[in-house]
Amino acid sequence: MDTQTEHEAGPDAQEKAQRVQRILYWVMGGMMLLPFVVIWITGAIRFE
């Protein structure tokens, strides 16, 4: 456990953490927008 915490202190780990955080933001945004996109697509199909 101690070796992992020491390894995470490096700059590479910080870049990895930022990348993971960015992916999490994209996933959260997608989950929030997905229902609206589905409603918009189904609504567009109904109007046609």
**Count: domains in the chain:** 1
Domain membership flag for residue 4 = no
Domain membership flag for residue 5 = no
The whole-angstrom separation of Cα 19 and Cα 6 is 19
The whole-angstrom separation of Cα 29 and Cα 45 is 24
For residue 16, the model assigns a pLDDT of 94
For residue 4, the model assigns a pLDDT of 56
Domain membership flag for residue 3 = no
* Model pTM above 0.75: no
pLDDT digits (tens, 9 = 90+) for 8-42: 567 888 999 999 999 999 999 999 999 888 888 88
Residue 29 is part of which domain span?
A: 12-47
